[in-house]
Amino acid sequence: MLLLTWWTWYIWSHAAVTFIEAGYDIAILDNLSNSSKEVLKHIENITWKAPKFYEADIRDKDAIEKIFKENKIDGVIHFAGLKAVWESCDKPYEYYENNVVGSNNLFEIMEKYNCKDIIFSSSATVYDPNENPPFIENTPTWNTTNPYGTTKFIIENMLRDLANHRDFRVANLRYFNPVWAHESWLIWEDPNDIPNNLLPYIMKVASWELPELSIYWDDYDTIDGTGVRDYIHVVDLVEAHLDAWKYLENSGKKAVFESFNLWTGTWTSVKEMIAYTEEIIWHPLNHEIVERRSGDIASAYCSPIKAKEILWWKAKLTVKQAIKDSWNFIQTNIR
């Protein structure tokens, strides 16, 4: 059985579907701070199988151990953690406690129950922003710009130590911005209030749920002055996790720590995302230029070549397709 640890249902729900459909038994740990049990019904409707679910927090070591006592856990897919760059600058101690201390609790219980295979959800925020993108896996990672990135950097190094000294087998996956949703339209990204991620923010403005889109500055040294990022369809993203798990399964008993960038290979600026959306929705998006957010950088995109060569993984879906699918979904499901 695989244990999925999450704080946001958007990604764990897609991963649950992908792994169940591939024949794996899973258990899910989530503290429901940014999710709902309702999504479990959607997972069952898609897969015809209800996953085990534990409402728990990775900061609670006893709660984690209870899951391991009740199940034979073969491996962990670890996404549990707070994840907003700007918020981490306002709440650094909360991020250190949730992400780093919580992960340490999880790793300690894993070893206690001889469970040493783990896929870790890292981020390209670990890369040194002074380096020129596209980032590759051996681009320096020590000079983070925000507490969120720092927690990812610390956890990566914890797992590297555990691979070197405790025989853990680690697939360390670095990515940026998952977009859109499952083809069933039963699970999707629909955050409350103003979203942290760009595409759901754009969709809420496009559908007039929010009055305008804030562009966090337009004088960066980029193609059009706005931030440049890589975006990846969430379905492609979770397929990469399945490929990474098969990679760990085939590694035998040998300790391993390997990092992989996950991306389409095509970067997109904020203004380009707006222009693509306006082409699809046939009306302009209200937007304004506002001050930069703490911790943001101008450009962040990577090379996905290593994932293609070792995991045999390649993204299939485009940003434009994600925008189109998002708009079609909203038009079909008007609140």
Annotated catalytic residue within 10, 95, 127, 148: 148
User: Cβ neighbours of residue 157 under 8 Å, at least 6 residues apart?
Assistant: none
Q: Report the greatest alpha carbon distance in the chain.
A: 57
Residue recorded with tokens 């640890």 = 5
Rounding to the nearest 10 degrees, give the CA dihedral for residues 264, 267, 273, 279. -70
Q: How far apart are CA 208 and CA 202, in angstroms?
A: 10
Residues in the chain: 335
Is the CB of residue 166 less than 8 Å from the CB of residue 111? yes
User: Cβ neighbours of residue 166 under 8 Å, at least 6 residues apart?
Assistant: 111, 116
Residue recorded with tokens 């670890």 = 78
Residue recorded with tokens 């981490």 = 88
DSSP sequence for 266-289:
-EEEHHHHHHHHHHHHSSPPPEEE
User: Cβ neighbours of residue 46 under 8 Å, at least 6 residues apart?
Assistant: 17, 182, 184, 186, 187
Q: Examine the residue annotation and report whether 10 is marked as an active-site residue of this protein.
A: no
Residue recorded with tokens 């079609």 = 328
Is the CB of residue 199 less than 8 Å from the CB of residue 269? no
Question: Rounded to whole angstroms, what are the CA distances from 124 to 85, 148, 189, 302, 316?
Answer: 12, 11, 21, 8, 20
Q: Residue 178: helix, strand or coil by DSSP?
A: strand
Active site residues: 148
